[in-house]
Each structure stands twice: as structure tokens, then as C-alpha cells.
């Protein structure tokens, strides 16, 4: 799973989380998600980056989700920390569920709400499969992270509406059925469950989380060519790399170089997210 961190820090929803605007935000942040809701964007836009750029604005107060899955690459663009409260389903489900959007193929053209014509079936099906497969992986990862049962914790936006916790939308089922993909939410849940069980039986193979290395003072696995495992700060640096505060790099670490204000705030922000997403 390719995960690209692209937090929508300018979106008012992100800001409400940052300020812990009320108990809905603090409650979600303390507890983490109790469920996962799958959406699709409802327009023929395969590029996650288009949504990331369009929604990362102070004036964009309509919605905010936790991730977009790019239809062209299957990459997951994470747009909120997983334990933040999103604005994705227009109902009380925002208090309990995190929301993930499948981007939809550019090889369709909408003719009405939930209705589209297919311009290139082969391409549209390949795009739908790419985002579906990535969503299975992502949801398995999130079910593992938050100890959720895929069979009960996963809903579509459409199912959320039927359950009375989301606005009246038909996604993503309208997208899958409009393309005649054969995908269903029951099938999706079953595939997530199978993925989760496979990951549990082979944790080192399939776990997308970084693996902390054993050995408190063993810095031999540090990626920087100019850091000696015996340097006085080596253990601390290894910790910072494991926490993803300092990016691993084959380039020199340059331990004697001065720290810029720019690097300081970036490291502080990564520290905040490393700590708060536990």
C-alpha cells in the first residue's frame, strides 16, 4: 500500500480538530474510529491530488475526509490523521466513522446524480479495480490498527444512510453497479476480513506499519552514511527515524549542521502526529 501523507491543514475541519472545537472532536480523538465508511467521489475525477488541492483551503467548509484513493495509481492520499473527526457523511456517522473516498475513473461521464455513461469500459473497470484493491488493503490495515471487526464496522455511505447515520447518497455502490463490476459491500467486507487474517498470520510480510528494530543501542541499521552506531546521539536518531520524525535517507545526516526554523517546525509537527496517532 502506497500511503502519501497529504493532510488538509487549511481545511476548517482539520482546524476544528486542531482546536478541539467541542466534545465531538475530543471524543473522536480520544477513542479513535469505531467504524469505517467507504465513499466514492461521485464525479469522473480519478486524481486524488485534485481533491487534495481543492479541499485544502480555509474557504472549503463543505467536507473533509480521511483519505482519497487515486484511481490511476491506487495510492492512498491520507488527508486527516486517522483519529481526527471528519466531515464525510452528513450525519452522526461523522462522530463514529472515519471516511475514505474512492476516486472514480475518468472513463465515465455523469448524466445525472448516480447515473453515468461509460466511455471506455476496459479502462473504467481497471480504474475501479485499482481503487477497490487499495481500499481492501487500507481497510484491513485500519481494522487491525483500531481492532475493528470488518464484518460489522465497515459501511458504505449508502448503508450509512439506511442505518440513519448519513445523508442520502448512493456511493460507492452506484459506481460499482453502474460499471457492472460485481463488487458489493458484502464482498468488500469479506475481502477485508481475509486480508486482515492473512496479515495476522504473516505479520512481517504484510504489515504496512514501520517495524521498530530491537536493541536499544544498536544503531547499525541507521540509514545515514555519516552516523556511527557509537555516536552519542545515534540511539536517539534511530528513535526519531522509527517515529518518522526524521526521514530516512541515503544522503548524509550532517550531525554538525545547524537546524533551520523550517526543519524545526516540520519535525515538531511530525512529532505531534507520531505521538497523537497512537
Residue 181, SS3 per DSSP: coil
Q: In whole angstroms, give the CA distance from residue 164 to residue 263.
A: 46
Q: In whole angstroms, give the CA distance from residue 268 to residue 270.
A: 5
Map residues 115-144 to x or -, x wherever contact with Zn ion holds by CB under 5 A: ------------------------------
Q: Is 174 in the site for Zn ion (CB under 5 A)?
A: no
* Least distance (Å) between residue 64 CB and Zn ion: 12
Nearer to Zn ion, 130 or 169 (CB): 169
Q: Residue 5 pairs with which residues in a beta bridge? A: 78
Using CA atoms of 31, 169, 115, 136 in order, give the dihedral in degrees to the nearest 10. 20
* Least distance (Å) between residue 169 CB and Zn ion: 5
With contacts defined by CB under 5 A, name the span among 61-69, 90-98, 149-157, 243-251 that binds Zn ion.
149-157
With contacts defined by CB under 5 A, name the span among 11-19, 32-40, 46-54, 187-195 that binds Zn ion.
32-40
Q: In whole angstroms, give the CA distance from residue 85 to residue 99.
A: 9
Q: Which of 83, 158, 169, 189 binds Zn ion (CB under 5 A)?
A: 169
Q: Which of 32, 38, 39, 195 binds Zn ion (CB under 5 A)?
A: 39
Q: In whole angstroms, give the CA distance from residue 152 to residue 141.
A: 16
Nearer to Zn ion, 137 or 171 (CB): 171
Give exposure, 216-237, as e/b (b: 16+ Cβ within 10 Å).
eeebeebebeebeeeeeebbeb
By the criterion CB under 5 A, which residues form the site for Zn ion? 39, 157, 169, 171
Amino acid at each position: 500500500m502506497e500511503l502519501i501523507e497529504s493532510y488538509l491543514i487549511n481545511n476548517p475541519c482539520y482546524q476544528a480538530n486542531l482546536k478541539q472545537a467541542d466534545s465531538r472532536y475530543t471524543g473522536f480523538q480520544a477513542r479513535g474510529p469505531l467504524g469505517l465508511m467507504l465513499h466514492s467521489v461521485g464525479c469522473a475525477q480519478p486524481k486524488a491530488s485534485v481533491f487534495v488541492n481543492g479541499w485544502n483551503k480555509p474557504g472549503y467548509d463543505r467536507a473533509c475526509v480521511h483519505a482519497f484513493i487515486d484511481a490511476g495509481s491506487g495510492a492512498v492520499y491520507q488527508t486527516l490523521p486517522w483519529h481526527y473527526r471528519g466531515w464525510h457523511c452528513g450525519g452522526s456517522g461523522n462522530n463514529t466513522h472515519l471516511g475514505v473516498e474512492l476516486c472514480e475513473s475518468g472513463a465515465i461521464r455523469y448524466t445525472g446524480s448516480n447515473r453515468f455513461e461509460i466511455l471506455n469500459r476496459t479502462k473504467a473497470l481497471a480504474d475501479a479495480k485499482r481503487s477497490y484493491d487499495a481500499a481492501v488493503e487500507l481497510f484491513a490495515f485500519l481494522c487491525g490498527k483500531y481492532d475493528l471487526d470488518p464484518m460489522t464496522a465497515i459501511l458504505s455511505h449508502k448503508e450509512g444512510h439506511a442505518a440513519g447515520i448519513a445523508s442520502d447518497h448512493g456511493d460507492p455502490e452506484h459506481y460499482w453497479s453502474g460499471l457492472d463490476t460485481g463488487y458489493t459491500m458484502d464482498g468488500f467486507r469479506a475481502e477485508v476480513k481475509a486480508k486482515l487474517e492473512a496479515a495476522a498470520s504473516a505479520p512481517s510480510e504484510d504489515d504496512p506499519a514501520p517495524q521498530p528494530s530491537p536493541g536499544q543501542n544498536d544503531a547499525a541499521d541507521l540509514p545515514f552514511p555519516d552516523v556511527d552506531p557509537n555516536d552519542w546521539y545515534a540511539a536517539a536518531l534511530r528513535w526519531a527515524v522509527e517515529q518518522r520524525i526524521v526521514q530516512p535517507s541515503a544522503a548524509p545526516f550532517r550531525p554538525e549542521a545547524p537546524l533551520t526554523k523550517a526543519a524545526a517546525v516540520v519535525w515538531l509537527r511530525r512529532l505531534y502526529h507520531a505521538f497523537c496517532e497512537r
